Structure 1
Amino acid sequence: MRGKFKVEAMLSMMVLTAGLPSRGAAADQGLEIFTYWTAGGEADGLAALEKVFSAKHPGVQIRNAVVAGGAGSNATAVLATRMQGGNPPDTFQIHGGAELIDTWVKTGFMEPLTKLYKDEGLDQKFPKQLIDLVSYQGQPYSVPVNVHRNGVLWFNKKIFSDNGLTPPETWDAFFAAADKLKAKGITPLALGDKDKWESLQLFEDILLATLGPDDYKALWAGRLAWTDPRITKALETMKRVVGYVNDDHATLTWDQATGLVLRGKAAMNLMGDWAKGYFTSNGWEVGTDFGWAPAPGTKGSFIVVTDTFGLPKKVKNRAAALEWLAVLASVPGQDAFNPKKGSIPARVDADKSKYDAYSKGAMADFAANALVPSEANGPATVPAFLTPITDAISGFVNDKDVARAQSTIAQACRETVGCAAGVATAKPGSGASSTGSGQGQ
C-alpha cells in the first residue's frame, strides 16, 4: 500500500530471538528485517514467521525495524534514505511488481535470487505469474510470502441479517442497499483514507467493475487512454459512492475504518484481505460475525497483491538474510504466516487444512479468475505515476470534481510515463504488465 512519501517517519526497534544461519556465518550473528506491519493480523503473522525461523536457527538475533503509519509510505521514505545512504537493512518487505522492480532492481540496489530459487526448488513451488512479478531480465529478485486479494467487500453479518440484505453484486445493488441502511441511520460504507492510498484502492475496485479485467489491464499497460469516457463513468460512480461513507474518513487509517464494521458502526468495508486478518485477530469468526464477496461488479476477477522480501547488495548479514528468505519461502513459514495475515500462501503445495473458508475460496478463485494488478499496492504502475494519481484521487474525494480529476491523472501520466493523450507509450516496468496475462501483487 502506498501514499505520498513522508520523510518524517519514526523508526522503532524491536529485538527478538531467532536462529543461526546454516549457509555461512553472518557478520554479527544477527539479522535486521524491515517492515511496516503493525496492525492486527499483520503483526501476528510476522511474529508467527519469526517463531518458525527461531526454531530452525536458534542464536541469531532478529532486529525488526518497524516503521509504523502511512500504510508503508513512511517506511518507504526511511528505506530510501537508508538504501541510498549505503546502510540497507538485511532484508525488507516490499510489494512485488513495479514497486520492487522499478524502484530497487533496475536501479542496481538488489541481488538476484536465482541460486536460492534453484536450491529451494521455488520455480516449481510458486505460480509462474508470481515469479514473473518479482523477476527482471529472467532473474527473480524477491521471495513472495503470500498472495493477497484486493477488492473484497467485507460486511457485518448481523447488520445485513437485521436489515434483510445480501452482498451487492453490482454498484446499482450497492446503492439500493446503502440507501436502505442510510435511512436507518447506519453508515453504509466504512472508509479510512488518512493515508490516501485507501481512496485510490476504492477507485481501483470501481475501475475494474467499469472496464472489466481486459481493459483494466490495458489501461495500466498503456493501451487505453485515461481520457476514455469509461474513466469518466468510473469517477462519476466513485463520486456517488463516497456520499455513503463515514464523515470522519479523512482522519482514519484503513484498520480504524475496518474497526467501524467490527463494532457495528458501519455495515461494509472495501479492503484487501488483510482486513480478514484484522477481524480474526480481534476475535471475530469467519462466516459467523463477518461475511465477504467480490467488490460490486468484479466477480470473476482477482486483484493481486503480494508481499515479498528481497536481498539488498552489501548487507551486513547476508547469510542470515538468505536463511530468512528460505524460511519464508518454505511450507512451514507460509503456513504459519498466512492464516494470521489473512492472505493465502504463494506456494502451490501449502497445507490447505490450515486455512479457513475464506482463504480456501480465495485459493480457488486465484486459480480460476482473471488476475489483474493492484494500482494502489504497487504492481500496476511505476512509483513516479503512483504518487500523483494517489494525490489526484485523494483530492477528488474531497472536491468531487470529475473533470479536474480525470484531467490531472491524464496529465500526470503524460509527465511521468510518457502518455500520449492519456495513453502510456513507455513500458511501465517489468512488474506492471505481468499478472493475469501475467501480473499481480
Structure 2
Amino acid sequence: MKKKLGLSLAAVATLGSIALTGCGSQSATPAPSSGGTPAANQSASGQQLQIFSWWTGVASSKALNALIGVYKQQYPNVSVINEAVAGGAGSNAKAVLASRMEAGNPPGTFQVHGGNGSLLSWIQAGDMKPLNSLYTKEGWYQDFPQSLLNMLTVNGKIYAVPVDMQRANVLWYNPAIFHKYNLTPPTTFSQFFADAKVLKSHGITPLALANHGNWEATLLWSDVLLGTLGETQYNQLLSGKGSWTSPGVVSAAQTFSKMMAYTNSDYSALHWQQADQMVAQGQAAMNVQGDWAQGYFTTDLHLTPGTGFGWAPTPGTQGVFAAVTDVFGLPSKLKSDTLTLNFLKVLGSEKGQDVFNPLKGTFSPRLDANTSLYDAYSRSAMASFKKDPLALIIGQGGANPGFTNQVNNAMEIFVTNHNVNQFVSAVNSAAQANPLN
C-alpha cells in the first residue's frame, strides 16, 4: 500500500455512505457513542473491551460470538461488548466512529476493510498504531501471504490484523433453474445475456439486484469492470495509472446498463440478503455478491452448497480473486493497549479464525488454515486465493472514501437514467477530485 494524501477527519465524517466500521472502546463502563474522554482499561475483573462492527446478521453474529468465546477462554475476566451498528458494508456505523475518533474517544478496536480505502484514511490521519512487533511476536509474517500483508502496510508499517478473506467476484445461481432450462453459469458477458434472454422468456428474473445500501450496485459494476478490462488494466485504474474515460471503462458501463434490463425493478428497496433470497427461492436465477452470501445461504437458510445454491466467477474474471478482507487495528489514542492487543492475538490466531470463518461463510487467509473445516465453496475460494492475482473492489477497501462516495452517488443516478456518458464523466471527475495514487 503506497503512501497517499490523507483526508481530514471532518472530511471523513461527511462520507456517510462508504464502507467503514463502527465503534467501541475499552473501559469499565460502556463509552458514549460520541464525545467523552479516551477510554481506559480497568485493573480488576471489571475490565471491558468494546469492539465495533457492522456484523448484525445471523451468520456474522454467530461467527463473532464464537470468536469472542475463544477470547473469553483465554481472558475470562474481560467482558467483550460488541457495539454493532447495522448497515450494508458499515455505512451506518461510519459517522458514529468518525465522531468518536474526532472527540479523542476511540474504540478499543473496530472493523474496517483492508486495502486503499477507509483503513488507509485512518492511518493517514494518525489514528492507528503500527503492529509490526505483534506480527513478529506471533509469527504472522510467515502465517499470512505477502499479497495480503501488502494491503495492510504503509511505508513498511503494518496497521491491521485480518480475520477473514472474502471473494467479491462471485456469481451465485440457482442450480435447479439452470438445470431445468439446460443452462450453464456464464463465463462471458455474451453468454450471460444469452442465458438472461432464456430466463426472462420463462418469467424468471435473470439477475437479482439489491441497492438499498447504495453499495451493492457499485460492487456489481466493479465486477463488470474487472471482467471487461482484465486484472492488469483494472488494477492500474485503481492505482491511479489508468484513464477512467478509456474505451474499456465505457464498454463496462454499457454492459452494466444492459444488465439492468434483466434485474428486478424493486432493487432500491432490497437489502443484499433479500436479493440472495430471491435466488434461493427460485424467484431469480443469479445474483452477484461476495462470500457473505455463502454465509447467508448456509447459516441463515440452511442450504447445501452445490445443490441449494451454485457459484462461479463473475463473467470474464476467471483466474482473478477480487479480495475483500475484514480487519481490526489498534487505535492510537487509547490510554492502554493491553486488552486490544490481546483481542488482536486471538483474532489473528489459527484457532480464532477457524472458529469464526466457517460460520461466517468466509475463510481464513492464514496459510495454515484447516481446509477440512470448510465446505466445497469455501475450499474452492481458498484455492483461488492462494494461486490467483488479487484485485480490490470499489467500496470494499479498493479505493479512498472520497472516490467511493462519489462513485456510489453517480451509480445511484446511473441505475435510473442509464446515461453511460454522464456516469463515466462522473467517475472520472471523482478520480480527479480524489486521487487514487
TM-score by length of 1: 0.88
Superposition map of 1:74-153 within 5 A:
74-153=92-171
Cα distance in structure 2, aligned partners of 1:328 and 1:51: 11
Give % identity.
44
Whether contact under 8 Å (2:112, 2:119) holds in the other structure is no
Which residue is equivalent to 2:228?
210
**1:263 partnered with 2:251:** no
* 1:304-315 aligned within 5 A: 304-315=323-334
Partner of 2:6: none
Unaligned runs of 5+ in 1: 14-22, 418-423, 428-441
User: Pick from 210, 223, 226: which aligns with 1:192?
Assistant: 210
CA RMSD, 1 decimal: 2.3
Partners of 1:34 and 1:316 in 2: CA distance:
18
- Aligned position for 1:359: 378
2:170–2:314 contact (8 Å) kept in structure 1: yes
1:319 corresponds in structure 2 to 338
CA positional deviation for 1:317: 5.5
> Following the alignment from structure 1 to structure 2, what is the Cα–Cα distance between the partners of residues 207 and 61?
44
| Structure 1 residues 100 and 42, CA gap change in structure 2 (3 angstroms) | same
Aligned to 2:307: 288
1:257 positional shift: 1.2
- Counterpart secondary structure, 2:383: helix
Superimposed CA distance per residue, residues 90-147 of structure 1 (whole angstroms, 9 cap, x where no aligned partner): 0001101122443111110111111111111111101111111111121111100111
Residue 30 in structure 1 maps to residue 48 in structure 2: yes
Equivalent of 1:381, from 395, 399, 402? 399
Structure 1, 405-414 or 232-241: larger mean CA deviation: 405-414
Distance change >3 Å, CA 251–CA 4, structure 1 → 2: farther
How far apart in 2 are the matches of 1:84 and 1:26?
A: 29
Do 2:62 and 2:360's aligned partners in 1 also have CA atoms closer than 8 Å? yes
List runs of 5+ in structure 2 lacking aligned partners.
Answer: 1-13, 25-40
Give the partner amino acid of 1:309: F
Q: Tell me: CA distance 1:128–1:236, structure 2 relative to 1, closer, same or farther (3 Å).
A: same
Residue of 343, 360, 363 corresponding to 1:344: 363
Contact 1:4 1:391 in 2 (8 A): no
Aligned to 1:5: 16
Instruction: State the 1:32 CA deviation.
Output: 0.3
AA aligned to 2:350 is: V
> How far did 1:245 drift?
0.8
SS in 1 for 2:98: helix
Cα distance, 1:390 vs structure 2: 1.3
* CA–CA distance in structure 1, aligned partners of residues 424 and 206 of structure 2: 26
Alpha-carbon distance, 1:26 to partner: 7.6
Measured after TM superposition, the shift of residue 41 of structure 1 is 1.9
C-alpha distance in structure 2 between counterparts of 1:347 and 1:12, whole Å: 26
Matching residue of 2:36: none
Matched, 1:40 2:51: no
Q: TM-score, normalised by structure 2?
A: 0.89
Instruction: Report the equivalent of 1:237.
Output: 255
Give the Cα separation in 2 of the matches to 1:147 and 1:63: 24
Q: Distance in 1 between matches of 2:335 and 2:377?
A: 40
Q: Which moved more, 1:67-76 or 1:84-93?
A: 67-76
In the TM superposition, residue 28 of structure 1 has moved relative to its aligned partner by: 4.6
Per-residue deviation, residues 304-359 of structure 1 (Å, max 9, x unmatched) = 11100001023255211111100011011000111111212121011111111111
Greater RCO (Cα-Cα under 8 Å, separation 6 or more): 1
* CA deviations over 1:184-214 (Å, ceiling 9, x no partner): 1111111110111101100011101110000
Structure 1 match to 2:190: 172
Contact 1:24 1:319 in 2 (8 A): no
